[in-house]
Structures are given as structure tokens and as C-alpha cells.
Amino acid sequence: MTTRLKGKVAFISGGGTGIGAATALRFAEEGAIVVLCGRRSEPLEQVVAQIIGNGGRAEAVQADVSNEAQYSGAIEAAAQRHGKLDILVNNAMAYTWGGITETSTEQWHANFATSVDGTFWGTRAAMKLMQKNGGSIINLSSICGTLGTPGMAGYSAAKAAIINFSRAAAAEGAAHGIRVNSVIPAVVETPATAGMLSDDATRKGTEKLIPMGRVGQPEELANAILFLASDEASYITGAALPVDGGRSAVLVTAL
């Protein structure tokens, strides 16, 4: 265990699986007290048990990020228990599939409730708590928020909103020492992409579009998030960092 986040209190939404779980483990390795938030308690408790088993400090909080009172309340209560909040990672997301003409208004709104509303509620709560001592907020976007994706218009719009919201939050928070950045993954091997990547043809087709020739791993995203959360990124705010194996750098690649 090293100490890049020693003494820091970090709150991570969607912390039970995928990128959130990998980030929680990485933060704990670096000495942070980690609060994991999600709708399902079982995966959260599994990650907490792993962190404690490795000698770290963590706790699980069951809350629905798409519920303003639950999510804001969970962040505020965590800060009260631990005396402060230094880091917030807005990682939880939800999405719907379907063409625009087949998408209902309810399905459209479902893309925003967790990803955009939750990110706003979490950022607002964190900025209030960080007014005195500063802090770091990292919001998870997606390559779908920078490139058009057929069948995912709602998700793409929501993830695009997160990028520019983070820039505005960075501009407001800078005077108080609050840094706000976004991370932009492409395809990462998580439970959310397991179905797609289990098909060999689809996986190979996806990997051909990535200059590095492979999908990302949650730990690789966690390392980027760790950097932005740490004091090593003390002069970085308002950035939108692609962590995508070069996918967003190319218009097209030969197949």
C-alpha cells in the first residue's frame, strides 16, 4: 500500500462493479478512506470486504443515484461521519437502446436521471462540502458523448452533457480549490459490456476499431481517475481525458 491519497475521504457512485469497483480498490491501495455507493448492497459489500482484507478502509452505502434526496443525503452523511469529503467520483450510469423514432419520452429521460441528474446532484453536494478545503471531482463520461452512436442517442446526449457540465463546474469551483474533470472511456471490459464482448465476432470487430487493438480494462480507467483525484493533478481542472486506446483519435482505421 502506498500513500498518494493518504488521509483523503473519497465517495464513489456505482462502486460495486466495473470501473467504480476498480477505482475503489485503487483508491484504497493509495490510503484513501473509500465510501462506495450503489443500488445493490451485495456487490458493494464484496468490494468493501476485499478492501478491508487488503488492509484498507472502506464502507458501503446503499442509495439510488437517480434519487436526489438519497444520493445527496448519502454524500452529506459520509462527509459528516468522516469529518470531510476530499474526492467524489460520479461513475454511476444508466442507458437505453433504440433508434430515435422508436424511443419513447420515458426512455429518453431514463438516460439522464442517473448520468446527468445524478452527476449534478453529486457535484452540487460535493462542492458545498469542499468550499473550505478544496477537493477533486471526477465525472465519468463516454466516447458516446463525443462521437455519434446509432441506437444510443439518449445515452450519447447524456454523456455529452456531463463533459460540458464538468467544464462549467470547474470554472465555478476553481476559486475554492475544487477541481472538476471528466474521464472519457471507450469500450471497457465490465459487466455492462459482457454481453457484447462475449460474442467473438463482435469483440474482434470492436478491437479492430481501436488503434491499440484491444478493449480497455477497468484498472486502466481507475489509474487515470486516481491521477486526477491526486495532488499530482493539482493544476488540472476542466479537462476531458480520453482513456480509450486511441479510439477517439482516429476518424477511421483499415479493417
Residue 1: pLDDT above 60? no
Q: Retrieve residue 3's grid coordinates.
A: 500513500
pLDDT tens digits, residue range 170-220? 999 999 999 999 999 998 987 776 566 667 777 787 788 888 988 899 999
Owner of C-alpha cell 419520452: 105
Predicted confidence at residue 195, as pLDDT, reads: 62
Predicted confidence at residue 2, as pLDDT, reads: 76
pLDDT tens digits, residue range 86-134? 999 999 998 888 999 999 999 999 999 999 999 999 999 999 999 999 9
Which residues participate in catalysis according to the annotation?
Answer: 155
Distance CA 169, CA 135 (A): 12
Owner of C-alpha cell 462542492: 127
Distance CA 12, CA 48 (A): 12
Predicted confidence at residue 14, as pLDDT, reads: 96
Q: Retrieve residue 165's grid coordinates.
A: 457540465
Residue 106 forms beta bridges with which residues? none
- pLDDT tier, 255 (very low <50, low <70, confident <90, very high otherwise): low
Predicted confidence at residue 254, as pLDDT, reads: 55
Q: CATH fold of 9-188+222-239, please?
A: Rossmann fold (3.40.50)
pTM: 0.94
Residue 82: pLDDT above 70? yes
What's the residue count for the chain?
Answer: 255
pLDDT tens digits, residue range 219-253? 999 999 999 999 999 999 999 999 999 999 987 65
Q: Retrieve residue 100's grid coordinates.
A: 430515435
Distance CA 45, CA 41 (A): 6
- The domain spans of the chain are 9-188+222-239
Predicted confidence at residue 207, as pLDDT, reads: 82
Closest CA to 228 of 237, 218, 219, 216: 237
Residue 59: pLDDT above 80? yes
